[in-house]
Every structure is written in C-alpha cells, then in structure tokens.
C-alpha cells in the first residue's frame, strides 16, 4: 500500500480529473515486477498497484455520485512478439490487432474489447480471466474513466517484460526471437525517454515549442515499437516508472542498467492536459468567445458612459463656475443698492429737516 500511495495514487487522481496516465514496472526478470503490479490478491494488505487502482477509482466514484456521472471501461491486452493480443477475447479471437490513431480519439487499438464495469470486483474478475490467456510478456490493463461525458482519463497499468540482456537469458530458437522483440520494445522505450529528456535540455523555450519537439520525437521514436506507440499519449510528465532491481551481486550490471533508465525517466517534463470531447471543447471555446465578446461590448458601453459622464461633469463644473460669478455680481449689485438706499434715506431725512426748519422760520415771521 505504501508503494501505491507514493508512486501510483497521484497518477490515478490525475486520471480521474481527465488526464492520461501510465504506471509500469521496469527491471530484469525475477525482481518482482508482476508482484509489484498485482501483489497477493488473497491478502488486502499485500495487494499491488493494479487492484489498489481498482479500489481507488470506485471509492472516488462513490464519493462523487451526487454531482457527477462516471462510465468506467476496461481493456486488457498483451504485446507478444510485437503483436497485440486481446486478453479478454474468447475462443482464440483478438489476435494481431492493429494500432490506429484519430484526431478526436488519439491512439487506440482497433477491435480491442472494452467492457463497461461497475465495481472493483468486476475489474478484478476481468483481470483474472485475462491472466489465463497471458504468455507472461508485456501486458496492459487499460482503464478509461469518463465523467459528465465532458472529460475522460485513460490509465495504462503496464507489467513490462524482463530487461536483462540476451546473453544472460540462455534463450535459443523461438525464445531468442521473442527476447529480441522484447529488447526492441524496451530499447525503443529507452530512446523515447531520452528524446523526451532532450526536449527539456534544449535552449529553446520549452513551453513554446513542446508540441513541435514531441511531434518530432513521435516520428522518430514512438512508431518504432508497439509498446511506445500505445503509450504515446501518456508517456512523460504524467507517468510513473517503478524500477525493480535484484539484490544479488550477480545482477550488478542489470541493476545498474535499470537505475540508469530510471534516472533518465525522472528527468522528463511534459505538459499534461485534460482530455475533452471535441464537441465539448468546441462548445467551451464558443462559450469563451461569447463571454469575451459580451465583456468587450459591456466595456465599450461603460467606457462610452464614463466619457459621457466626464463630459457632463465638466459641463456641470463650468455652469457652477458661471453661477458663482453671477452670484458674486448679484452680491456686488445688492451691496451697491444697499449703499444707495442708505444715501437716499439720508438725503430724504435732510430734506425733511430742511422743511421743518422753513416752517419754523415762517411761524416766527408771522
């Protein structure tokens, strides 16, 4: 469980959000790759990455049942002598499958059985059925989780074949031919890892040219083996490699080779993106365009209103200044009128006083 929490849980979490993810065990035969991936199915505490992934997926679905709808589909295939075999096919069917690619789907296997499941136990039964058809070489357990019919995440759980050199296997005849095919897949995988690391080390800004470099790598490397072709859309930043090594000194060279491979793999930096249905992506784009168009229209209206408001403010300020001037003039006129009225009053009083004096003089003369 500790290995799962450290190495696999973050990948599964991302897949449930709509990203592609890959988890595979790498190392020589006998170092526990299959046990790492499957574990002891009879003991819960000793179960490997694959059954723990099953439980994790459906635990997550159970917690999100109220606001999301999930559809989980499972496929199980094997790469044997660079040929694809459907491990869920019955009666010898599902041989020599072909890898195809579509713009709206990505890389997929034509006619590969994909079964809808509703529980971890159903997935477990499918894996047990597929294991009976295995030749114990590279095997994929492909899980696709769709939620809300908007985004979908694809999880590859890969049990790789042994990475030891042919000279140490003692293989001959058909087994030697099988070993050569295995080495082709693993060496191509190593070349892809190196190419993806080289993208990081380039002096050209990675985010601007990542699509170009990964496309170039796809032309040169991804198509050279069925293994890398299948993993094309999930190799890189959203993948985890578990390096299995042997403790014996006899395995020194193979252990060193495995650690060198792991050291290269850890330096990959890809920009992962959520997978969306093209129609949903187009709808989302249309919504964004409509939103920004409406935002721009509102901005134009507000800007026009603001300019009009500023103009009215200036006009109001000018009228206020004019009114203040008029009021000041009125106050001056009022002051002048008050002064004139006072002077007139004094003149009237002087005339009245003169009249009184004249009357008094007249009376004295009579």
Residues annotated within a binding site for ATP = 27-34
* 275: phi then psi, degrees, rounded to nearest 5: -85, 125
Sign of CA dihedral 280, 281, 284, 286: negative
**Cα first-last separation, the chain:** 144
The Cα–Cα gap between 292 and 299 comes to 10
The rounded distance, in Å, linking the Cα atoms of 82 and 180 is 10
Q: With beta carbons less than 8 A apart as the criterion, state whether 24 and 33 touch.
A: no
Q: Which residues are annotated as a binding site?
A: 27-34
Please write down the HEC assignment for all residues of the chain. CHHHHHHHHHHHHHHHHCCCEEEEEEECCCCCHHHHHHECCCCHHHECHHHHHHHHHHHHHHHCCCCCCEEEEEEEEEEECCEEEECCCCCCCCCCECEEEECCCEEEECCCCCEEECCHHHHHHHHHHHHCCCCCCEEEEEEEEEECCCEEEEEEEEECCCCCCHHHHCCCCHHHHHHHHHHHHHHHHHHHHHHHHHHHHCCCCHHHHHHHHHHHHHHHCHHHCHHHHHCCCCCCCCEEEEEECCCCHHHHHHHHHHHHHHHHHCCCCCCCCCCECHHHHHHHHHHHHHHHHHHHHHHHHHHHHHHHHHHHHHHHHHHHHHHHHHHHHHHHHHHHHHHHHHHHHHHHHHHHHHHHHHHHHHHHHC
């Amino acid at each position: 469980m500790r290995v799962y929490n450290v190495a696999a849980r973050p990948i599964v979490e991302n897949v449930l959000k709509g990203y592609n993810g890959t988890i595979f065990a790498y190392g020589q035969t006998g170092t526990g790759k299959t046990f790492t991936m499957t574990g002891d199915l009879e003991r819960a505490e000793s179960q490997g990455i694959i059954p723990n992934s099953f439980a994790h997926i459906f635990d997550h679905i159970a917690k999100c049942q109220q606001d999301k709808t999930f559809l989980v589909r499972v496929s199980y295939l094997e790469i044997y002598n660079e040929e694809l075999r459907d491990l869920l096919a019955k009666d010898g069917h599902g041989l020599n499958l072909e890898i195809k690619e579509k713009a709206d789907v990505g890389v997929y296997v034509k006619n590969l059985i994909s079964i809808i499941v509703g529980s971890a136990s159903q997935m477990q039964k499918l894996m047990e059925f597929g294991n009976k058809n295995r030749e114990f070489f590279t095997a994929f357990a492909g899980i696709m989780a769709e939620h809300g019919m908007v985004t979908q995440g694809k999880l590859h759980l890969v049990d790789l074949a042994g990475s030891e050199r042919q000279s140490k296997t003692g293989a001959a005849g058909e087994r030697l031919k099988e070993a050569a095919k295995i080495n082709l897949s693993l060496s191509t995988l190593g070349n892809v890892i190196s190419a993806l690391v080289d993208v990081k080390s380039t002096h050209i800004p990675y985010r601007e040219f990542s699509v170009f470099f990964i496309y170039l790598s796809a032309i040169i490397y991804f198509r050279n083996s069925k293994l890398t072709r299948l993993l094309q859309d999930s190799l890189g930043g959203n993948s985890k490699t578990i390096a299995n090594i042997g403790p014996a000194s006899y395995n020194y060279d193979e252990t060193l080779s495995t650690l060198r491979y792991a050291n290269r793999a850890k330096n990959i930096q890809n920009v992962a993106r959520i997978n969306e249905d093209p129609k949903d992506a187009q709808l989302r784009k249309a919504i964004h365009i409509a939103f920004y168009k409406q935002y721009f229209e509102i901005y134009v209206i507000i800007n026009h209103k603001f300019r009009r408001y500023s103009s009215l403010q200036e006009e109001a300020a000018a009228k206020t200044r004019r009114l203040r001037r008029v009021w000041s003039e009125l106050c001056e006129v009022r002051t002048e009128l008050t002064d004139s009225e006072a002077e007139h009053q004094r003149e009237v009083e002087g005339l009245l006083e003169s009249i009184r004096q004249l009357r008094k003089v007249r009376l004295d003369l009579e």
